[in-house]
Amino acid sequence: MPNTSQPVHRTALVASAVALLGLLSACGSESSTSSAPQPTKAPRSTGPDTGTVTRTATAPAVTTAPSDTAGSASASARTDGRCHTSELRAAVGRVDPGAGQRNFPVVLTNTSDRTCTLYGYPGAAFVDASGSQLGPDPERAPSSPRTVTLTAGESAWAGLSFSSPQISGARTATPAALLVTPPDEHDPLKVKWTAGEVPVGGHESSVSVTALEPGTGP
- DSSP string covering 99-138, please? TTEEEEEEEEEE-SSS-EEEES--EEEEE-TTS-EESPPP
In a domain, 10, yes or no: no
In a domain, 27, yes or no: no
Residue 32 has pLDDT above 50, yes or no: no
Question: Which tens digits make up the pLDDT trace of 39-60?
Answer: 444 444 334 444 444 444 444 4
Residue 97: which pLDDT band, with cuts at 50, 70 and 90? confident
CATH code at position 126: 2.60.40
Position with higher pLDDT, 63 vs 132: 132
In a domain, 124, yes or no: yes
pLDDT of residue 31: 43
In a domain, 15, yes or no: no
pLDDT of residue 47: 40
In a domain, 49, yes or no: no
In a domain, 23, yes or no: no
Q: Count the domains in the chain.
A: 1
Domain encompassing residue 200: 79-214
pLDDT of residue 203: 66
126 and 59 Cβ atoms separated by less than 8 Å? no
